[in-house]
Amino acid sequence: MKILICDSLENEVLNSFSEIGEIKDISHEENKEDELSKNIVDSEVVVIRSATTINKDLIKSAKQLKIIARCGVGIDNIDLEQASKSNIYVTNSPNANIISVAELTIGLIIGAARNIHSSNNSLKSGEWNRQKFIGTELYEKQLGLIGFGKAANEVAKRLTAFGMRIVFFDPYIDESKNDAIKVDLDYLMQTSDVISIHVIKTKETENLIDSKYLKMIKEGGIIVNTSRGGIVDEKSLFELVDDKKIIFGGLDVYEKEPPEVGESFTNSNIITTPHLGASTKEAQLKAGKQTAENVKNILNGDLNSVINP
């Protein structure tokens, strides 16, 4: 059995996959796209992270492919419809990076509230201007969570300890175990001091937080997105932050990755990180080991981890 490794995996995870079949690792190839096109044809398992896209044409060219395995939660880089048509199982590891994403989210929120990144840059450029970087406390402020899945719940638990009030918007969840209050999206956007986004990317959520919703944010508000790119209208967000209508934003994900870094991007007060939500040693290892276990289970007839019809 040929297992095609498209993105970097830890040695322990590679060893787990080598127990299943013969590994072909193209993760460090300079011409990875060409290698992917060539090697997917006779591969039975393809393993990816977020950096590789398995599109319709690649799936159609894969003559022996049985499983597409995603180390991580997001599956918008896989053509699920074509995979299902081709009788290919798709599996992922949605729980591996929950804590890492939650902790990064809180880091971005604190960084925004206390001007950490901009004051750091200012001091390193030779300035000493404490008055310029007066921040805001999170204590007794309202946190609005858009999407209330596992990562959002971890954020809620931690920021409740900061003394924040928690509200959430999620059409699929009726109540919270953490004293968070369910509200509609308009109310959340208009009343929250801090807004954090935790939804998957679908047709329903694409550009969910558009210019209309961004303009609802109260003056001095903070908005953070560590879920998927394309949920927030990035152009409008940069404009509103530059106009000081929103005090800060924090982005870890982008509509296009890597994003186009122009003048407005470079000079903005938005904290920008290069999709680091799952980039901890612990999350990477958990995701890889869980994905390898999923592949073993599927090959043994256990389809509980399969996410496509």
* Catalytic residue ranges: 228, 257, 275
Beta-strand runs (E) in the chain: 2-5, 22-25, 45-48, 67-70, 89-92, 142-146, 165-169, 181-182, 194-197, 222-225, 248-251, 271-272
Q: Helix count (H) and strand count (E) of the chain?
A: 12, 12
Please name the residue that has the structure tokens 């900061």. Answer: 162
Q: Residue 255's Cα: distance from chain center in Å?
A: 11
Percent helix, percent strand, percent coil in the chain, to nearest 5: 35, 15, 45
Q: What's the CA gap between 81 and 77, in Å, rounded?
A: 12
168 sits in the region (left: phi over 0; alpha: psi -120 to 50; else beta) called beta
* DSSP code of residue 64: S
Q: What's the CA gap between 84 and 104, in Å, rounded?
A: 34
Q: What's the CA gap between 3 and 62, in Å, rounded?
A: 12
